[in-house]
Structure 1
Amino acid sequence: MRPWLGLSLGALVALGACMNDFDQFDSVPSTGTTSTSTGDGGSAGDATSTGGGGGAGGSGGTPVVGETECADGIDNDLDGLTDCADPDCASPACLEVCNDGIDNDGDGEVDCFDLTCARSNFCREICDDGIDNDGDGQVDCADLYCYRNNDCRETCWDDTADDNDNGLSGCFDFQCTDFGGCFEICNDGIDNDGDGDTDCEDMRCWTHARCQEDCTDGRDDNNNGHIDCQDVSCFNHPACRP
């Protein structure tokens, strides 16, 4: 072999070894400052997390819970109800609307059940429609508002007919209290004035001659169930004083 050829072969072997070392360098992880970018897809920016795509700060935004402004003319919580028409705004600052089914002023009373609606046209009792228009629990003639309404007048001398449909008939009706035909007759055995007391049992008859109690004769002279000093009319009689 020629001397120069052997030298050349040796150089090639050494060069191949060096190339293998360079391959090893390429496989070693870099210790530099290279960073992994989160980009738009997963960063705190546009698409996720707090970004514009789905976060609280983006254009979509988180819906407002409850009406927060009650006098701006805007349906802030997007429930179809604006300002005081929204139950979320119930407070004394909101006046009661008497026909919307909402407790606008937040006092626990709705529409005609609220005292502030007492004079509202929506809450006046109509005396012949079978409806509790003013929400006070009384219907038509049973409502004091209808006391003097022509549809609610009681015929006081008819003791059986409830002419005004308030549950009371004839002299038993409070409308007939001062009606002359309902004064107590003190010796006919009838409760003429409808107060539950008959004849001498009725206070209106205590001064009637028929109802005077003889406080010392041992009899119930006025037929009220009490004899002599047991009778209230005898309390001041000398024979009945302690």
Structure 2
Amino acid sequence: MTSGIARRALAEFLGTGLLVTVVVGSGIAAQRLSADTGLRLLENSIATAFGLGVLILLLGPVSGAHFNPVVSAMNAILGRRDRTGLAGLDLLVFIVAQILGAICGAVLANAMFQLPTAISTTNRATPGTLLGEVVATAGLVLLIAGLSRARATLPQIAAAVGAYIGSAYWFTSSTSFANPAVTIGRIFTDTFAGIAPASMLPYLAAQLVGAAVGIGLILLLFPPPPTVADAQATVVPSDLEEAS
């Protein structure tokens, strides 16, 4: 592994880990401070929205601040045509770093609140919540890729993604996990933000479907600009026609 990919993988490990620490830690604090479930969700969503925005601003210049396997996969797929996306091995390294970071983030949050690291017993998978995950993930992929193709600045992307996740806590039935690594990490806390292992695979499947929908929408709404090769392929026949 080169120093460049190692540095970027470390940023993805830290970013995903701290994101899960924010999600789980604010969930534990909300559970302790508030008796009302709606108020707990409000506290959890506000902390997550702000925390995610900060992490994107901090680590975006290092790794692109994916913190999410579906975002990394989207980057690899959409960037394949002009070779700007992650290569196969780099994509694998990113995903492993994100998953390990998410697990460590949950363990850290538990430790800060003096709770044991325990497997969650919160079952979340229902037809409605799985549809919510499809919607949440498709929207996230569409937002990130759309802003990137529109050449939005890093602060604009950080604000928009944080705002989207904060609002998706409320408008989706699943409270918008929208992230396979975060979903896996949240198995390791039996608290407000946890998810039982039995719900993990259905959630991951719904997130993959949502990612595919989001990528499809990007291709329809934001077609990539022509490459140099495409431009040459268009110009050369025209010149030949004129010469003849």
User: Which one has a bigger Cα radius of gyration?
Assistant: 1
Which protein, 1 or 2, shows the higher relative CO under an 8 Å CA cutoff with sep ≥ 6? 2
Per residue, is there more helix in 1 or in 2? Answer: 2
TM-score (norm 1): 0.18
